[in-house]
Structure 1
Amino acid sequence: MKQKAHRWKRIMGAVSAVVLLMAGIWWLKRPSYEVMKIENSIITQDHLALYETDCRAQIASDFYSKYKLDPNEDGFWETSVHGESPKEALRQMAMDRLLRDTVERVKASQYGIPADITLKDIKRSLEKENKKRQSSERISYGPGQYGLMEYVSRTQMEIRDELKRTLMEEKLEPSQDQLKELYAGADPSLFDKGCRARIGIYMFYGMKAGEYPEELKKVWCYVEKGLAQGMAPADLIHGINEWSEAKIEYEEAVYDMSDLPRDNQEITWLVEQTRFLEPGQNSGVLDYGPSQGILLVLDKHDYGKAGYEESVPLLKNMWLEKAYEEYIKQCLEEYGYHVK
């Protein structure tokens, strides 16, 4: 009798273990609960959690800048300051981003643009993409393997661009009168065709912290007076070197905004600092990294303002950006989400 009882206990123990194991598996694989539904697509908590993770650094930075709250301190996310909580702000930012992204994906799919909407479908496509990247030698762009949020961001950008293009063709195309009105009322600098300029550069390179502070003030004062008097660069440099240990170098550079190198930071800086100066005007003393200098515009040829016909591609892009934002806002409101 006792043996039967022991055998029964062992059987029940094994059954209990199996039940607990199955319950644990169900718990781990249970569906994440719904946080929003758009059309027939259910967006779940795990999808929102992905966006919350992506937004954490931004919220931490915002609360540190605004309230000097240290995100590394215990209790940071539960803190409340003037009615604001990092935890609530994080959830709201993530919800706003997820909501907008989901609406874009839903609308894209309605226009026949391939777009995964739920996190489950996105993960399935990510797995296929990474397998393809692992085995294919033809893919030469992007990372060897995508992370989940990295893949979400990349595909979101592609979907958004394709949706904009489609909407421009089918729904949001502006009339010529609307484009002309936009051209007439826009900031003229948007249609600036740029210029070709020759710049004289007086520069002290590689200044260390605390090196020649008073000396450099005297040097730049001397340069500015010399420029006002029309002194030649060689005479200016020679005059400075006679009494100063802060050695100033002079060189000239030419830039043409119709053909600027994209990866030259120095030329980009020159354009930014001198674009709206006239020949004979100088920039005053500028910092360039650890260096200081004065830029003098020697001569310049302006290409003028682009006319309406030349500006149509730009005007269409300007129109589309505004029209697209209004379209997405309208879609959100149609789905019952108020947008400020």
Structure 2
Amino acid sequence: MLYPTIYDTPEHQVLRDQVAKFIAREVEPHAAAWEEQGMVPREVLRRMGEAGLFGLMYESQYGGAEGDALTNLVFAEALSQSTFGGFIITVLVHTDMASPHLHHAGNAAQKDKYLRKVIRGDLITAVGISEPGAGSDVAGIRTQAKRDGDHWVLNGTKLYITNGVHADLYFVAAKTGPGKREVSMFIVEKGTPGFSVGRALKKTGWLSSDTAELVFDNVRIPAANLLGEEGKGFYSVMKNFQTERIALGAMAVGHCQRALELTLDYVRTRQAFGGPLWNQQTIRQRISMLDAKVRAARQFMYHCAWRVDQGHDIVQDVSMLKALTGELVNEVLQACQQFHGGMGYMRETPVERLWRDARVLAIGGGATEVMLEEVAKRY
């Protein structure tokens, strides 16, 4: 159950209900097969686009709803009521991590060419920032882009790219000058000569999402595919990290909520030691404390989104949120799995999948230690 917040509107509840119905109809009955396939079927993503769920914060002239950060958070949290993290991250990379680069930095011609198709789900997006030697350290990327007449030529490798195998459109960060932060963003279409998927990566969790190594070998792209200002891509990436990290916080909170619901149902019916496990004081109290932490984190998460809409600098707040929720989801899932006993270790149970999927939320999008340094240097 998603308890109301002080920021809620009637429209938010309509959106929650719409997402919940989509998950119940289109995702939960089928997603176990997607885990085996290693991807979410394209037709499912198109149906989400057709339902208007891919353009909540984008301009109406391209088919978007022009929603605010709170609306986008409501969507991410509602989506994260699914027990399939691979499905969730496939969608959130498209809506909150990749396509926002086009929304924020794209010019009129670029948006006219791509954004309608992105919103409809005809084009699925990915963002190429992380590399073998540079994850959270964006300034450390080594992929190069050099101007050659009316083109840019890209060379380098990207790693851990979600949607990397099956995306159609990639927003790629590359060094365009000698300065540490002289990074630019580029639009690269699938099928561009020299651009390839080096390999699909196997993961512990998020099994229904595809993750890839991307290789750029003298990839020539038109000069018109420069996204935003040359040399300003570092700051574009930093700005978009706030949207990404709120979405990942919502994913963590959503996992916590579902895990606690599943665990409450289980301990109330599981008979042991002469009665239901719920009769054991230590289990009741542990679940109660975890629920209290999750509710507190959720309120902070909504406050962060509200501050975005108010125009505040929220880097410190969002860094706190990412660190807090990334650690909390692992604490909650560890306990919930424990209370399921041996059943919690079986692949057939949702709590086992949530436990596997939760681990990366303390790593991806900014590891906990990096986030805490972002917090500390702003005191």
Q: Could you say whether these structures have the same fold, taking a TM-score greater than 0.5 normalized by the shorter chain as the test?
A: no
Larger Rg: 1
TM-score (norm 2): 0.20
